[in-house]
Amino acid sequence: MFEDLRDLYQEVIFDHNRNPRNFRVMDNANRQVEGFNPLCGDRLTLFLKIDDHVISDASFQGSGCAISTASVSLMTEIVKGKTEDEAEALFKQFHEMTTGKTEEINLEAIGKLAVLAGVREYPARVKCATLAWHTLDAALKNEAQSISTE
């Protein structure tokens, strides 16, 4: 059963859904943005600590589906230690990968995030994977405190 879904629900996704990384409130965050997907009710709060243009810490709180939880969990892992520009570049690559704009996935750059490439075959689920990154984008641009995927 569910053989067709192996590309979408990879073991890494189940793992991050069961045990989300960096799932905590960050008291000393200097960026905090809410992300909301009104279609499915996914909500997350992203916390960043940015020192001298480098993301020194990232964490989140919230509830969502397995894809969205795994996506934000993986994201907080990968952006730690990256500069703001590097994180922005990653957002663009991730967006292109999940929306199917690029066939070739730059594995070196995208790393573990490649497990989320499967969503491009499921248009109804792309927003689940990209919510975290749109929220990050808003946090980096220091935009308003709430971001919606609609």
Partner 1 sequence: MSTFPIEQIRADFPILGETIRNKPLVYLDNAASCQKPQAVIDSIVHTYSHEYANIHRGVHTLSVRATDKFEGAREKVRAFINAASTKEIIFVRGATEAINLVAQSYGKSQLKAGDEIVISAMEHHANIVPWQMLCQQIGAFLRVAPMNQQGELLFDEFEQLLNAKTKLVAITQMSNALGTINPVEQIIAAAHAKNIPVLLDGAQAIPHMAVDVQALDCDFYVFSGHKIYGPSGTGVLYGKQALLEAMPPYQGGGDMIRQVTFEKTEYAGLPHKFEAGTPAIAEIIGLGAAIDYVTAIGMDKIAAYEAELLDYATQQAEQIKSLNIIGQAAHKGGILSFTLDRIHPHDIGTMLDSLGIAIRAGHHCAMPVMDFYGVPATARASFAMYNTRQEIDVLMQGIKSLIEVFG
42 lies in the site for partner 1, by CB under 8 A: yes
146 lies in the site for partner 1, by CB under 8 A: no
| Binding pattern for the stretch 46-85 against partner 1, x by CB under 8 A and - elsewhere | -----------------xxxxxxx----------------
Binding residue for partner 1, selected from 24, 25, 41, 142, defined by CB under 8 A: 41
Buried b / exposed e over 6-24, threshold 16 CB at 10 Å, is: eebbbebbeebbeebbbee
Say how far apart CA 76 and CA 93 lie, in whole Å: 16
Q: Give the pair of three-digit tokens for residue 40.
A: 């499915």
Say how far apart CA 135 and CA 94 lie, in whole Å: 13
Q: Which residues bind partner 1 (CB under 8 A)?
A: 1-2, 4-5, 8-9, 14, 17-18, 39-43, 63-69, 122, 124-125, 128
